[in-house]
Structure 1
Amino acid sequence: MNEYQDIVVEPAASGVQVIRLNRPQSKNALRNATLREVVAALAAATDDASVRAVVITGGDEIFAAGADLHEMAALDAIAAARDVRPQYWRAIAGFSKPLIAAVNGFALGAGCEMLMHADIVVAGESARIGQPEINLGIIPGAGGTQRLVRTVGKPLAMKMVLGGEMISAERALAAGLVSDVVPDGEVMATAMAQAQRIAQKSPLAVALAKEAVLRSFEMHLEAGLQFERKSFSLLAASEDRKEGIAAFMEKRQANFTGK
């Protein structure tokens, strides 16, 4: 039985947990309760050793159409400054296991910011992605101005943020905002296949690899290289490294245990 109201968490299979945004009546608008439940589900996945990757998705026509405007409209400047949403976004950004977004339809505003918190993004051909907050007299508030420019560059980020323009899945692919564009009916299967492929790898190596890549956005090159080298050296003490090398030499599938 699903213990959540705004999301559906499907039983893990082949090392992959699926989190499905489930507010169709509100176009999967990300209200505080939705983010709180996503954070709780990710925390449970962190503690579950059988879960090695998570896929987050929405509906067939809408991934997430933005934040909940009814909730936002009730906030004055003081309430907005004290809002708990930044805590939820930081928790999502800090999730240590691979997070794959499977995106069909619209990913707008907070929906776009959610996919930018993912490590890999699979989009359907008809997906449309954007930061249209400017049309409401506001700006992105969950990293849209910062993560977007680091991903797609200043000219396109300015076009999306200042003009409120949506871009196609193909344009998002060319700009590096998504990793794959597939037919709409194949989005979930493709995301699951990628997640299951990652789930077969060493959990220790995957976690350190993810952290190293994310740190490249925050560190200068030399510090990033030092972190990479320390992580590489640390893995030399793991059973998974021994198993991986042995499996390669013996021409068999490795059985990684996370030790």
Structure 2
Amino acid sequence: MPDNKGDTVAAEGLPGPVAAWADSAPAAGADFDADAEAFAGFWRQGEALLERLPGKARRGEEEQETARRILDLGREARGRFLEKHAGEVYARLTGGRSKFVRVEPLAYAAAELVPGLTPTRAQVARDSDLLQKDKEGFEIDQGIFLNRVLADPEAGLHLCHAMLLPREESLERLQHFVDHGRIDLGTAAAVRRGGVSIAEMRNPRYLNAEDETTSDSLEIALDLCLLDPESAICVLRGGTVDHPKYAGRRIFGSGINLTHLYQGKISFLWYLTRDLGAVNKIFRGLAKPETTPEEVLGETIEKPWVAAVDGFAIGGGCQLLLASDYVLGAKGAYMTLPARKEGIIPGAANLRLWRFVGDRIARQAIQYERRIDCDSEAGRLICDEIVEPEGMDEAVEGVVARFLQSGLVSAAANRRAFRIGQEPLDLFRRYMAFYAKAQATCHFSPQLIENLERFWQAASRRP
């Protein structure tokens, strides 16, 4: 292979084969099996052409343009295939929607059913050790796939149902939690005090940021709090942190771990797993296998959630508040959604924030980095009470006591009634269909890297 950047395209004789390959792109018809075979062959040829180029970090401009064309043509073909067959793909992966499959195994099972439709685990693993800017971006194809699945009403609602079920790991730990009233999950914990279950986020080195090390443990903690038969209400808090500036203090959360994001340690599926799983479970409760979680006809396991904001709730931390039923904010604490500076979409905040603060302030927060102090006019539209920092523990106990005194028999019904008017499950499904494709593009965009280097000095931060 030539050493000089940009020589490979000509030296490998790629212009002709790429053009011929483009001309051979199949059209989608009514026969799933025939189309699956034809499109898989087309994608296999595209992968072979891409492998003749250097890795992304070593490409010259012409090489990068050739790679982009190969990837784009493959994605256009995925769009055509899925437009015809997304429902059938989902049906085959779930036994005709007779079994529930979570997002991650679903995306990888699609690669086995129709090779090339989504990346294999091996392809993603090869990229996993690279910096984000050096990745090929194969996971964008997972976003294209999940966009089409979620856009299909029957498949999309079934996938939302799957993601609202308690995790197997949670069910395995439930009896321990019931018996002992506490469990340490590493980067999260759950504890019962009286009639309240408390989920605590614990990532002290990174100011309780969210990343691949926290997502599973937080969702399990939430499941246990909701499943606990001895509690009627839940509390969400951030644990104490190690950072010298805040050492020994509670911090609610600093959002996505930008250091890990820059270093390529956060997968695309992390976003979908988080927002269809943990965050949506706070907002909607847990689903039951035998009953739809849809608000009008279905049933869920729900408890009110009280969130206590110590320090700050940045990005994903703020998103959690928008899914909660009651929010306590410490004086001096603040909320931000710096999505534009990060180069990503802030979860479901675009769907939810405007309901609290109005359209203008929501746009200012998401698109123009407006900081919202808890103890401000806008902040009080999100926070139900403002308390002194040293009085937060007592304030949480007071709120819980008031909830319990008045009884919670109607709590689940009232939560569902609000959702029918504000955000029924089908609206959320449609939003997540858009989010799957758009976030995949953002996650691998050059702008994300530029923003992280410009605004967060990400290149100089140690792992």
Task: Indicate whether 1:210 and 2:391 are aligned.
Answer: no
CA distance in structure 2 between the aligned counterparts of 1:44 and 1:79, rounded to whole angstroms: 26
Residues 35, 201 of structure 1: alpha-carbon distance in 2 compared, 3 angstrom cutoff: farther
Identity of aligned residues (%): 23
2:348 corresponds to which of 143, 166, 169: 143
- Per the alignment, residue 251 of structure 1 pairs with none
Within 5 A, what are the aligned runs for 1:93-112?
93-95=283-285, 96-112=302-318
Task: Indicate whether 1:3 and 2:3 are aligned.
Answer: no
Distance apart, 1:80 and its partner CA: 5.0
Residues 81, 104 of structure 1: alpha-carbon distance in 2 compared, 3 angstrom cutoff: closer
CA contact (8 A) 2:201 2:208 kept: yes
2:282 corresponds to which of 92, 95, 112: 92
CA distance in structure 2 between the aligned counterparts of 1:214 and 1:35, rounded to whole angstroms: 25
Distance apart, 1:81 and its partner CA: 8.7
CA distance in structure 2 between the aligned counterparts of 1:182 and 1:163, rounded to whole angstroms: 28
What is the SS of the residue equivalent to 2:382? Answer: coil
Q: Which of the pair is proportionally richer in helix?
A: 2
1:186 corresponds to which of 359, 366, 391: 391
Residues 216, 187 of structure 1: alpha-carbon distance in 2 compared, 3 angstrom cutoff: farther
Moved more, 27-36 or 119-128: 27-36
Gaps of 5+ in 2: 1-181, 241-248, 286-301, 425-463
Gaps of 5+ in 1: 220-259
CA RMSD of aligned residues (A): 2.4
- Per the alignment, residue 117 of structure 1 pairs with 323
- Per the alignment, residue 371 of structure 2 pairs with 166
CA distance in structure 1 between the aligned counterparts of 2:212 and 2:307, rounded to whole angstroms: 20
CA contact (8 A) 1:61 1:106 kept: no
- Per the alignment, residue 155 of structure 1 pairs with 360
CA distance in structure 1 between the aligned counterparts of 2:281 and 2:227, rounded to whole angstroms: 14
Distance apart, 1:199 and its partner CA: 2.6
CA contact (8 A) 1:124 1:169 kept: yes
CA distance in structure 2 between the aligned counterparts of 1:103 and 1:174, rounded to whole angstroms: 12
CA distance in structure 2 between the aligned counterparts of 1:81 and 1:22, rounded to whole angstroms: 18
1:72 corresponds to which of 261, 268, 271: 261
Distance apart, 1:114 and its partner CA: 1.0
Moved more, 155-164 or 79-88: 79-88
Q: Which of the pair is proportionally richer in strand?
A: 1
CA distance in structure 1 between the aligned counterparts of 2:399 and 2:197, rounded to whole angstroms: 13
Q: Which amino acid aligns with 2:208?
A: N
CA distance in structure 2 between the aligned counterparts of 1:126 and 1:120, rounded to whole angstroms: 18
CA distance in structure 1 between the aligned counterparts of 2:365 and 2:283, rounded to whole angstroms: 22
Residues 116, 134 of structure 1: alpha-carbon distance in 2 compared, 3 angstrom cutoff: same
- Per the alignment, residue 234 of structure 2 pairs with 54
Normalising by structure 1, we get a TM-score of 0.75
Residues 82, 124 of structure 1: alpha-carbon distance in 2 compared, 3 angstrom cutoff: closer
Moved more, 39-48 or 67-76: 67-76
CA distance in structure 2 between the aligned counterparts of 1:145 and 1:104, rounded to whole angstroms: 23
CA contact (8 A) 2:329 2:386 kept: yes
Deviation sequence 1:18-75 (CA, Å, 0-9, x none): 2221111111001244232222222222222211111111143521011122443427
CA distance in structure 2 between the aligned counterparts of 1:132 and 1:215, rounded to whole angstroms: 29
CA contact (8 A) 1:173 1:181 kept: no
CA contact (8 A) 2:280 2:323 kept: no
CA contact (8 A) 1:55 1:192 kept: no
Q: Which amino acid aligns with 1:41?
A: A
CA distance in structure 1 between the aligned counterparts of 2:215 and 2:397, rounded to whole angstroms: 22
CA distance in structure 2 between the aligned counterparts of 1:38 and 1:138, rounded to whole angstroms: 22
Residues 212, 57 of structure 1: alpha-carbon distance in 2 compared, 3 angstrom cutoff: same
What is the SS of the residue equivalent to 1:63? Answer: coil
Q: Which amino acid aligns with 2:414?
A: A
Distance apart, 1:217 and its partner CA: 0.8
Deviation sequence 1:84-111 (CA, Å, 0-9, x none): 2232222232221010001111101001
CA distance in structure 2 between the aligned counterparts of 1:55 and 1:81, rounded to whole angstroms: 24
Residues 36, 199 of structure 1: alpha-carbon distance in 2 compared, 3 angstrom cutoff: farther
CA distance in structure 2 between the aligned counterparts of 1:30 and 1:20, rounded to whole angstroms: 12
Residues 101, 199 of structure 1: alpha-carbon distance in 2 compared, 3 angstrom cutoff: same
Distance apart, 1:168 and its partner CA: 0.9
Q: Which amino acid aligns with 1:158?
A: R
CA distance in structure 2 between the aligned counterparts of 1:179 and 1:158, rounded to whole angstroms: 22
2:211 corresponds to which of 20, 27, 31: 31
Q: Which amino acid aligns with 1:22?
A: R
Considering Cα pairs closer than 8 Å and 6+ residues apart, tell me whether 1 or 2 has the greater RCO: 1
Distance apart, 1:172 and its partner CA: 5.7
- Per the alignment, residue 71 of structure 2 pairs with none
